[in-house]
Amino acid sequence: MSINLVILAAGKGTRMKSDSAKVLHKVAGAPLLIHAMKAGTSLEPQNIVIVAGHEADAVSAAALAYDESAQIVLQTEQKGTGHAVLCTKDALQGATGDLLVLYGDTPFISPETLDTMRSARARFDVVVLGFEAADPARYGRLVMDGNTLERIVEFKDASDEERDISFCNSGVILCSTAHMFELLAQVTNDNAGEEYYLTDIIGLARAAGLSATAVACSEAETMGVNSRTDLAAAEAAFQARARADALEAGVTLTAPETVFFAHDTYIGPDTIIEPNVIFGPEVTIENGAHIRAFSHLEGAHVSRGAVVGPYARLRPGAELSENVHVGNFVEIKNATLAEGAKANHLTYIGDATIGEGTNIGAGTITCNYDGVFKHHTHIGARAFIGSNTMLIAPVSVGDEAMTATGAIVNKDVPDGALAISRIPQDNKLNLARKLFDTLRAKKARQQNEDE
């Protein structure tokens, strides 16, 4: 059965104390909304509809950046979850198959759980996602009769017996698209908030002779984010799971609690990650690499056997081939280092191509920015770049070429050539002693005046 995915993302998130929409706050480097979209798209939906409201333009931009096929509809007035889903009716006009409702502020529902819900749909008309709550508090209760979901009772409306139920409602619902809109058309706002509640469709479905059930997942999957405290808890939950997954996958984390992953970090087996390493989005680490302490990586690809850090920074576009070494206080941006290349300390390489086996000396800078445009530096294979070389891009250094220490290179260096660019040294005999004597006398006079 095909799936139509609807994600509710219209709320302000007042408790976040932010001008930004709640669903745009990030966990593991990605907006909450993207986490929900990743889960939902695992079912390969034929339509994806995002219901936006507060900061709709920014929400739309984030959704479309992740999936350009997503449709955006507006809920201009906050009239409840049922009303939000009803806003998608025109966007889904003529759509067949099922409709799955997820929430943009609930980031951790797994693809496996959604697949279980889809399997249950083969036997029931409506499937709700529930969880056993450690503290049911004010959650809506799922009233079951065997495998049949009879109704959802809000806490304020529940009897004492119903409040003893610990099986609670997540709000996630799956049913046919046709049934969803037929049932929502019957929902009223006869309640204290004058809102149209999506949960009301369960009672209407049962009254119409439709079958309903609830599928259980872990409470952790249903974690909603409504405040900065919730956001911090969500980040901690994500990182704990990501660290456990990495260890299980054969990655060595010498101090797991100090390593932070992004939502899409991939690390191959036999990689070693030392303490205090941070991965931003879009990082891939191949098998057997070594990421040393206090390094920060984002938008980078690190190949097998490469060593990064300590105290290294890989920025977007950094491409390290096999057995590359990037050492302490080295920054790489939009640059490719071929197999065996080394930049071991105190270096910036930006907008550059470095050939295989080339050594970049300490203090080297590719001067890639002229204040308006970025320019490229090309360094060939097996070259040697002397310490404190300034490479004024655009410039090329050939294969097996060399630059002298302290060189300022603003012309191309042919293959095998040595580039020397420095002012000739002139030793002024005894001038240092004279200068020191003058300075010390000046200091003594100032001290006497102060006294």
Which of the residues are catalytic?
Answer: 345
Cβ neighbors of 401 (< 8 A, separation 6 or more) are 380, 383, 384, 413, 414, 415, 416, 417, 418, 419
Q: Is 252 marked as a binding-site residue?
A: no
**Structure tokens, 51:** 């219901």
**Residue 433 · residue 427 · CB < 8 Å:** no
Q: Is 95 marked as a binding-site residue?
A: no
Q: How far apart, in whole angstroms, are the C-alpha atoms of residue 410 and residue 391?
A: 6
Q: Is 356 marked as a binding-site residue?
A: no
Cβ neighbors of 432 (< 8 A, separation 6 or more) are none
Q: How far apart, in whole angstroms, are the C-alpha atoms of residue 305 and residue 285?
A: 10
CA 115 to chain centre: 24
Q: Is 99 marked as a binding-site residue?
A: no
Q: Is 22 marked as a binding-site residue?
A: yes
Q: Is 203 marked as a binding-site residue?
A: no
Q: Is 9 marked as a binding-site residue?
A: yes
**Structure tokens, 61:** 């931009």
**Residue 310 · residue 294 · CB < 8 Å:** yes
**Residue 25 · residue 63 · CB < 8 Å:** no
Q: Is 258 marked as a binding-site residue?
A: no
Q: Is 445 marked as a binding-site residue?
A: no
Q: Is 309 marked as a binding-site residue?
A: no
Collapsed DSSP state (helix, strand, coil) of residue 366: strand
Phi and psi torsions of 254, nearest 5°: -75, -25
Q: Is 348 marked as a binding-site residue?
A: yes
Q: Is 11 marked as a binding-site residue?
A: yes
Q: Is 368 marked as a binding-site residue?
A: yes
Max Cα–Cα distance, the chain, nearest Å: 105
Q: Is 363 marked as a binding-site residue?
A: no
Q: How far apart, in whole angstroms, are the C-alpha atoms of residue 300 and residue 280?
A: 9
CB neighbourhood size of 435 (10 A): 11
Q: Is 311 marked as a binding-site residue?
A: no
Segment (H or E) for 21: none
Q: Is 387 marked as a binding-site residue?
A: yes
Q: Is 371 marked as a binding-site residue?
A: no
Using alpha carbons, list the distances in angstroms from residue 374 to 177, 203, 379, 393: 51, 62, 17, 8
Collapsed DSSP state (helix, strand, coil) of residue 62: helix
Burial readout 244-266 (b: 16 or more C-beta within 10 A, e: otherwise): eebeeeebebeebebbbbbbbbe
Q: Is 36 marked as a binding-site residue?
A: no
Q: Is 140 marked as a binding-site residue?
A: yes
Instruction: Select from 51, 60, 61 the least CA-distant residue to 5.
Output: 51
Residues belonging to the binding site are 8-11, 22, 75, 80-81, 103-105, 140, 154, 169, 226, 315, 333, 348, 359, 362, 368-369, 387, 405, 422
Residues belonging to the binding site for Mg(2+) are 105, 226
Residues belonging to the binding site for acetyl-CoA are 362, 368-369, 387, 405, 422
Residues belonging to the binding site for UDP-N-acetyl-alpha-D-glucosamine are 8-11, 22, 75, 80-81, 103-105, 140, 154, 169, 226, 315, 333, 348, 359
